Structure formats: structure tokens, C-alpha cells
Amino acid sequence: MLSPRLFHKILGVAFLLFPCCAQGKPAGSFPLSSFAQLPEDGIDQGFIPGFLPMVDNEVEDVIRQLEHRISRLEGVLHLEKMITESGGKIFATNGKRADFHATMKKCKEAGGSIATPRNPGENDAILYFVKSFNTYAYLGIKESLIPSKFQFLDGTQLTYTNWYLHEPSGKGEEECVEMYTDGTWNDRKCNQNHLIVCQF
Ligand code: MMA
Ligand code: CA
């Protein structure tokens, strides 16, 4: 947690620099000019735009507090089976269901995209939700204009696949891809109510 002393200091400085905001008015543009005040040598002063310089140990202190807070919040989300991680990519579910297009929309609104496994580790991270909610999930993979040839949503080629035996089988009739509860993939129509899993 930010120490009261430091918080008070930052608040005081903020109000000092932005009397407009202290009076509840919009600040207009952020004073990026504070970047211009960066010292040439920049040795032991940390600058956050809009704030007076903090010494290194204060910046480190703020970073430590933020990291601690983030890790506790991640703990809560893990506990609730809402997030998993693989190689720095975070996968998340809200435990709700939607068809492919609604899933894409939800993920985008949240600032992410539909879960798209690019390797076995990421596939396992998504599988964790599919298993714990016992519900298939759509993946960010679609059939290309060439029937039975699947690709990422941006049109790039798949470099990893995990098809179930004899899949894909839809031959142009099943344009989306679902993950089964064993982690394998099946091409399927896009209108099923599946678990929403996003990536961030
Ligand atoms: C079968 C199999 C799949 C197909 C679905 C559609 C249960 O699996 O033929 O390839 O996608 O049916 O319901
Ligand atoms: Ca199929």
C-alpha cells in the first residue's frame, strides 16, 4: 500500500501543479513539458510526468507497492479461477457463455482478444478453464477461404495445432474452432454457446 506520507506528498504536488484539477475542472492537455525537464544525465532523479521529481528509492518503493498489490489481485483472480498465465500471456474468463461473435466482442470490450493458443503451454492455460467450467470454448482461429484450411483471425498461418482425430471435418460448413475438455480442437459452427475465454 502507498504510504500515507508518500501519498500525501504526491497529492500535494499534484494539486500544486494542477490547481485546475483540485477545483474539479478538466486539466485540458497533460503537461508533457515535464519531459523536457528531464536532466541530461538523468542519474538519480525519477520523473513521472506531471509530478515533481522523486528520488530513486521513492520510485522503487512505489513500484514495489504496486507489484505487491497486483500480485494480491492476481491471487484473488486465480482463487476464483478467472485467470491463468502462460509465457506472460494472461488468459481470463468471466465464467459466462456466448457464441463466437459475442465472445470476440466481449474480449475486445475488455481490452483483450479471444483466446488463441500458439503453443502447448497456452493451449493448457485455456484448457484449465474448459475443464474447470466443463464447457467447450471457442478459439481465435477460423477457416480460411480455402475449405479445411484454418488460420489465425489476422489471416496468418497456424504454427501449432491440436486437432482431435479426423478433425477438421466440416469442409467449409464449420468455420469456427472449439476446444474439447481434453484440450483437442474441433471445427464447429460459430453459433454454439461456449465458455468466454479471452487473452490479454
Ligand atoms: C461430431 C463431429 C465433429 C462435428 C460435430 C458437429 C460430436 O462431434 O462430426 O467433427 O464438428 O459433430 O456437431
Ligand atoms: Ca468438426
The DSSP annotation for 55-69 comes to: EHHHHHHHHHHHHHH
pLDDT for 22 equals 38
Predicted confidence band at 54 (pLDDT cuts at 50, 70, 90)? confident
Q: Which of 150, 180, 188, 193 best tests ligand 1's pocket when mutated (most atoms within 8 Å of CB)?
A: 188
Span 99-115, mean pLDDT? 98
Task: Check whether 32 has a pLDDT greater than 60.
Answer: no
Write out the H or E segment, with its range, that includes residue 33.
helix 33-36
Span 50-74, mean pLDDT? 93
Q: d(Cα 10, Cα 44) in Å, to the nearest integer?
A: 18
CB 184: neighbour CB atoms within 10 A?
Answer: 16
pLDDT for 23 equals 39
Q: What is the distance of C-alpha 129 from the center of its chain?
A: 16
Task: Check whether 75 has a pLDDT greater than 50.
Answer: yes
What would the grid cell of residue 2 be?
502507498
Per-residue DSSP letter, 159? S
Domain ranges of the chain: 4-80, 85-199
Per-residue pLDDT reduced to its tens digit, 130-181: 999 999 999 999 999 999 999 999 999 999 999 999 999 999 999 999 999 9
Surface-to-core class of residue 42, CB atoms within 10 Å of its CB (0-12 exposed, 13-18 middle, 19+ buried): exposed
pLDDT for 11 equals 34
What number does the ligand 1 atom closest to the CA of 167 have? 10
Q: d(Cα 104, Cα 65) in Å, to the nearest integer?
A: 34
pLDDT for 146 equals 98
Q: Torsion-angle region of residue 29: left (phi > 0), alpha (psi -120 to 50) or beta? A: beta
Report whether residue 136 contacts ligand 1, using a CB cutoff of 6 Å.
no
Give 82's contacts (C-beta < 8 A, 6+ positions apart): 92, 93, 94, 95
Q: What is the CATH number of domain 85-199?
A: 3.10.100.10
Cα(167) to centroid of ligand 1, in Å? 9
Predicted confidence band at 49 (pLDDT cuts at 50, 70, 90)? confident
pLDDT for 64 equals 98
* Ligand 1 atom 12, closest CA: 188
pTM, 2 dp: 0.77
Percent of the chain whose pLDDT exceeds 70: 76
* Ligand 1 atom 13, closest CA: 188
